């Protein structure tokens, strides 16, 4: 564990992922620093979600190595891996809430598995998490099918945060939300990052999120990271896709 503070929280080296004969990620390198919010952008179908899923371990890779919290996920033992998984939270694109459990049970599910906590404390922490993500306590007894899209995202975030992770993966957290809701969500991610000291890995398409929430931006193209840096670096870049992305009509509208 020594030196964990300085090292990047995620270190991805030469990752290659292939589906059949199509190579989605090709020798990709990426570092995520402790405490930052990394925005991850790229054209649709470039493999942003694939990279996220590869890091989490849902998609097998052909080559390369992934270290999270300084643990190499390929050579780690089961208990090491469980320890890593306990320290990260994942917000899936569709929320992926357990449909047969209520909101309260969804949020308590990881707690029951990993912690030995009394029911009273779990209930109280659930309410705390719901308040943090901006939901009313009444929501707790509802089922996922009775929630709106924005509420599902918030509950999914509350579940991702239920064990107080050090790292959260957000896969398009603001897609499908109205602009005000999306803005609130960016604000929420920022606040949580400040209060809980989170590191956030956020796949997004939302220019607003990039401007308001992210410390650093990485751009995926042709299976590699084509640029990484601050929003100013991105705007200064001469890469054609980046120019189009950050200087297009919508980008100008966001920058006002």
Partner 1 sequence: MNSDPKLERIAKGNALALCATGTWTASFAPVLERIVADAEKLAGSPQSIFIDVSEVAKLDTFGAWLIERLRRSLTKGPVEAQIAGLSANYSSLVDEVRRVRATTAVDSGTVTITGMLEQIGRTVAGVGGTVAGLVDMLGAVLAAWFRVLIHPRSFRLTSTVHHMEQVCWRAVPIIVLITFLIGCIIAQQGIFHFRRFGADIFVVDMLGVLVLREIGVLLVAIMVAGRSGSAYTAELGSMKMREEIDALRTMGFDPIEVLVLPRMMALVLALPILAFLGAMAALYGGGLVAWLYGGVEPEAFLLRLRDAISIDHFIVGIVKAPVMAAVIGIVACVEGLAVQGSAESLGQHTTASVVKGIFFVIVMDGVFAIFFASIGM
Q: Which residues bind partner 1 (CB under 8 A)?
A: 1, 98-100, 104, 111, 115-118, 121, 123-125, 127-129, 131-132, 137, 140-141, 143-146, 161, 163-164, 191, 194-197
Q: What are the phi and psi torsion angles at 226 (to 5°)?
A: -90, -20
Minimum distance, C-beta of residue 56 to partner 1, in the bound complex (Å): 21
Minimum distance, C-beta of residue 62 to partner 1, in the bound complex (Å): 32
Minimum distance, C-beta of residue 156 to partner 1, in the bound complex (Å): 15
DSSP string over 146-186 = GS-HHHHHHHHHHHHTTT--SEEEEESTTTTS-HHHHHHHH
If the CB atoms of residues 5 and 180 are measured against partner 1, the closer one turns out to be 5
Minimum distance, C-beta of residue 99 to partner 1, in the bound complex (Å): 4
If the CB atoms of residues 100 and 230 are measured against partner 1, the closer one turns out to be 100
If the CB atoms of residues 99 and 230 are measured against partner 1, the closer one turns out to be 99
Alpha helices in the chain (DSSP H): 48-56, 78-86, 103-114, 119-132, 149-160, 179-196, 207-212, 231-236, 240-247, 249-255
Q: How far, in Å, CA of 91 to CA of 154, rounded?
A: 9
If the CB atoms of residues 125 and 182 are measured against partner 1, the closer one turns out to be 125
């Amino acid at each position: 564990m020594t030196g964990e503070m300085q090292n990047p929280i995620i270190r991805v080296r030469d990752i290659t992922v292939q589906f059949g004969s199509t190579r989605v990620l090709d020798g990709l390198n990426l570092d995520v620093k402790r405490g930052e919010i990394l925005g991850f952008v790229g054209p649709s179908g470039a493999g942003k979600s694939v990279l996220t899923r590869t890091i989490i371990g849902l998609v097998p890779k052909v080559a390369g190595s992934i270290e999270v919290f300084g643990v190499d996920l390929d050579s780690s033992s089961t208990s090491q891996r469980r320890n890593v998984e306990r320290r990260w939270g994942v917000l899936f694109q569709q929320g992926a809430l357990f449909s047969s459990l209520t909101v309260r049970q969804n949020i308590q599910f990881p707690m029951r598995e990993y912690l030995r906590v009394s029911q009273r404390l779990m209930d109280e922490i659930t309410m705390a998490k719901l308040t943090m993500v901006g939901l009313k306590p009444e929501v707790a007894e509802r089922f996922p099918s009775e929630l709106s899209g924005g509420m599902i995202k918030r509950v999914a975030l509350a579940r991702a945060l239920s064990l107080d992770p050090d790292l959260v993966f957000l896969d398009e957290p603001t897609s499908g939300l109205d602009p005000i809701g999306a803005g609130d969500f960016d604000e929420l991610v920022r606040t949580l990052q400040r209060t809980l000291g989170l590191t956030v890995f956020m796949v997004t398409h939302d220019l607003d999120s990039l401007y308001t929430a992210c410390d650093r931006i990485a751009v995926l193209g042709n299976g590699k990271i084509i640029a990484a840096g601050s929003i100013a670096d991105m705007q200064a870049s001469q890469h054609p896709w980046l120019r189009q992305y950050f200087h297009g009509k919508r980008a100008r509208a966001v920058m006002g």
